[in-house]
Amino acid sequence: MALEIFDSKTGTLREFRPADPEIVRMYVCGPTVYTDAHIGHARSYVSFDVMRRYLELRGHRVRMVINITDLDDVIDQKAARLGEKPEVLAARYGERFLEDLRTLNVRPSYANPRVSENVPAMIGIIEKLNEEGYVYEVDGNHYFRTTLLGGYGQLTHERPEDLLADEPIMEGRENPFDFLIWKKSKEGMVSWDSSLGAGRPGWHIQCYGIMRGVLGDSIDIHGGGEDLKFPHHESNILISLAHKGKDAIGYHVHNGFMTRGKEKMSKSLGNFVPLRDVFERFGGSVVRFYLLRSHYRETIDYDEDDIEKAQQDLDLILGFEKDLKEVEKDGKPRGFVEEEIARHRKTFMDSMDNDFDTPGAITALLDFAGCAKTSPDDLRTTEARLALGVLSEADSVLGLTGAD
Ligand SMILES: [Zn+2]
């Protein structure tokens, strides 16, 4: 079966064909590091880690990049409150974020580039866009003209005015949705020199500059949470059209929201679930397994009872694996047992081929663990070894044990 991935831009499942058959390039939008991650962040990175792992199981080499946004007003504001340098605060939370990824068994990235380390490449792109008329200045700040090149709506298929809850800010902009591409320097702000004056790049050009700089002209999968579609990823598409005449992205992939009490987790509602609090109670592998029991595009309503159920199911699978290791009965593998093992493996793989259907894949594993015909008591060592092979393959994708 071919792997099919849901592309948010076309709104359809599309067979996965990387631009370069040798190497799959994935870029996932990383966090702005001014505070610790919450459970919604974990969901995004675990979802894309499983995609990457499954592509690797299918024989692809994958370059996975998760950036770290270490230049932003919120970082400056918090650093000023704490009386420390923004770069020190951002470095600390950046390290804590990478620790969280390890706790979640997220495979190490090809790169975790910091925005602050890639500004010269962004400046080169901004200067080119400025020369070509895509950028204009208002009071030292520079904005990108979002009404050109088809404008917003190419990813969400909605008008920007229907996507914003609040009135957009004008500040002298030609169009209220035009985004800041170069912010002029002010006191206390880490800044760079450019032909547009001293300043620093805005958020959308940061990600675009890094992905092109680190991964090149074609990125197979650009990933992030649903909330990044607009304006962030819509803006990335417009920048790419202006810069290179085409969208650099093969597949636009977005994970669903996490809610709590059916309400979107947000700063204003104060209902974020800090990831480290969850780790203290359950441990990284269980949190990961809990998240994967829902399809990555579904909304998950955070519920600790569900994490406890996840723990029980995970124990069941790991117990099955342990039992298989203890089988000591000699004899050749029997055809009907081999068929049974192959059937479970196929269900697992077919589920993953269907837009990374991890709930389906996990159900296949639980069926396998509970299947009478393959109960370890009835098995021979040769058969147990085959079954362990299937489990270890599944583990390499789902990252259940942290073993690689
Ligand atoms: Zn981004």
Cα(26) to centroid(ligand 1), Å: 12
pLDDT at 372: 60
Cα(66) to centroid(ligand 1), Å: 9
Cα(400) to centroid(ligand 1), Å: 28
Cα(157) to centroid(ligand 1), Å: 19
Cα separation, 92 vs 89, in Å, equals 5
Cα(224) to centroid(ligand 1), Å: 7
- What angle is formed at CA 49 by the lines to CA 46 and CA 54, rounded to 5 degrees? 125
Q: Which of 19, 21, 22, 16 is nearest to 1 (CA)?
A: 16
Q: Which residues contact 40 (CB under 8 A, 6 or more apart)?
A: 225, 257, 258, 265, 272
Cα(75) to centroid(ligand 1), Å: 16
Cα(239) to centroid(ligand 1), Å: 13
Query: Residues 336, 339, 341, 344: is their CA dihedral positive or negative?
Result: negative
48: tokens are: 């894309």
Cα(195) to centroid(ligand 1), Å: 25
| Tens digit of each residue's pLDDT, the chain (404 residues) | 899 999 999 999 999 999 998 899 999 999 999 999 999 999 999 999 999 999 999 999 999 999 999 999 999 999 999 999 999 999 999 999 999 999 999 999 999 999 999 999 999 999 999 999 999 999 999 999 999 999 999 999 999 888 887 777 788 999 999 999 999 999 889 999 999 999 999 999 999 999 999 999 999 999 999 999 999 999 999 999 999 999 999 999 999 999 999 988 877 788 899 999 999 999 999 999 999 999 999 999 999 999 999 999 999 999 999 999 999 999 999 999 999 999 999 999 999 999 999 999 999 999 999 876 667 888 999 999 999 999 999 999 999 987 55
Cα(362) to centroid(ligand 1), Å: 30
Cα(204) to centroid(ligand 1), Å: 7
234: tokens are: 């819509």
Cα(364) to centroid(ligand 1), Å: 34
Q: Which of 339, 323, 314 is nearest to 379 (CA)?
A: 323
DSSP per-residue letters across 36-76: --BHHHHHHHHHHHHHHHHHHHTT-EEEEEE-BB---HHHH
| Domains recognised in the chain with CATH numbers | 20-117+256-302 (3.40.50.620), 307-398 (1.20.120)
Cα(206) to centroid(ligand 1), Å: 7
Name the percent of the chain in helix, strand, coil, to the closest 5.
50, 15, 35
Cα(93) to centroid(ligand 1), Å: 17
274: tokens are: 């800090």
pLDDT at 264: 85
Cα(205) to centroid(ligand 1), Å: 9
Cα(44) to centroid(ligand 1), Å: 13
Cα(183) to centroid(ligand 1), Å: 17
Cα(32) to centroid(ligand 1), Å: 10
Cα(13) to centroid(ligand 1), Å: 23
Cα(210) to centroid(ligand 1), Å: 9
Cα(170) to centroid(ligand 1), Å: 23
